[in-house]
Amino acid sequence: MVTEKLVEKIIETKYEDFPEELILHAKKSLLNWLGVTIGAIQHESIDILLEVADELESSSQATILGKNIKKDLLFATLINGTSSHIFDFDDTHLDTIHHPSGPIAPVVFALGETKNLPTKDLLRAFILGCEVELRISNAVYPSHYKLGYHITSSAGVFGAAVAAGILLDLNKEQMTYALGLAGTQSFGLREMFGTMTKPFHPGKAAQNGLLSALLAKKGFTSSKQVLEAKRGFANVLAPQHGLSKVLVNWGEVYELQKNAFKPYACGIVLHPAIDACIELSKYAKPEEVQEIELQVNPYVLELTGKETPETGLEGKFSIYHTGAIAFIDKDASEEQYSDVKVSSPETISLRKKIKPIVDETTSEEKVVAILRKTDGSVYQVKIDHATGSLENPMTQEMLNKKFSKLCKNILTDVQITSTIEAVLDLDKLNSIHAVIDHINHTKVFNN
Q: Which residues bind its own copies (CB under 8 A)?
A: 44-45, 48-49, 51-52, 55-59, 61, 72-74, 147-149, 180-181, 183-192, 195-197, 200-201, 204, 211, 214-215, 218-223, 225-226, 229-233, 235-236
Question: Residue 123 CB, nearest distance to its own copies (Å)?
Answer: 24
Between 111 and 416, name the residue whose CB sits nearer to its own copies: 111
Question: Residue 237 CB, nearest distance to its own copies (Å)?
Answer: 9
Between 189 and 348, name the residue whose CB sits nearer to its own copies: 189
Find, among 177, 166, 187, the residue nearest to 215 by Cα.
177
Between 127 and 168, name the residue whose CB sits nearer to its own copies: 168
Q: How many whole angstroms separate alpha carbon 129 and alpha carbon 372?
A: 49
Q: How many whole angstroms separate alpha carbon 369 and alpha carbon 89?
A: 24
Between 226 and 370, name the residue whose CB sits nearer to its own copies: 226
Question: Residue 310 CB, nearest distance to its own copies (Å)?
Answer: 18
Question: Residue 246 CB, nearest distance to its own copies (Å)?
Answer: 17
Between 55 and 397, name the residue whose CB sits nearer to its own copies: 55
Between 211 and 436, name the residue whose CB sits nearer to its own copies: 211
Question: Residue 5 CB, nearest distance to its own copies (Å)?
Answer: 18
208 in Cβ contact with 195 (< 8 Å): no
Between 316 and 372, name the residue whose CB sits nearer to its own copies: 316
Question: Residue 183 CB, nearest distance to its own copies (Å)?
Answer: 7
Question: Residue 146 CB, nearest distance to its own copies (Å)?
Answer: 9
Per-position b or e across 202-225, b if 16+ CB within 10 A of its CB = bbbbbbbbbbbbbbbbeeeebbeb
Q: Which residues contact 350 (CB under 8 A, 6 or more apart)?
A: 286, 289, 323, 324, 327, 328
Between 70 and 271, name the residue whose CB sits nearer to its own copies: 70
Between 190 and 373, name the residue whose CB sits nearer to its own copies: 190
Question: Residue 186 CB, nearest distance to its own copies (Å)?
Answer: 6
Question: Residue 427 CB, nearest distance to its own copies (Å)?
Answer: 28
Between 1 and 48, name the residue whose CB sits nearer to its own copies: 48
List residues bridging with 93 in a β-sheet. 98, 259
**Four-residue CA torsion sign, 36, 37, 41, 45:** positive
Question: Residue 148 CB, nearest distance to its own copies (Å)?
Answer: 3
Q: Cα–Cα distances in Å, from 21 out to 15, 25, 138?
A: 13, 6, 22
Question: Residue 417 CB, nearest distance to its own copies (Å)?
Answer: 35
Q: Cα–Cα distances in Å, from 138 out to 39, 47, 397, 420?
A: 30, 35, 31, 31
Pairing of strands 354-358, 289-296: parallel
Question: Residue 76 CB, nearest distance to its own copies (Å)?
Answer: 10
Between 76 and 394, name the residue whose CB sits nearer to its own copies: 76
**Four-residue CA torsion sign, 84, 87, 88, 89:** negative
Between 236 and 390, name the residue whose CB sits nearer to its own copies: 236
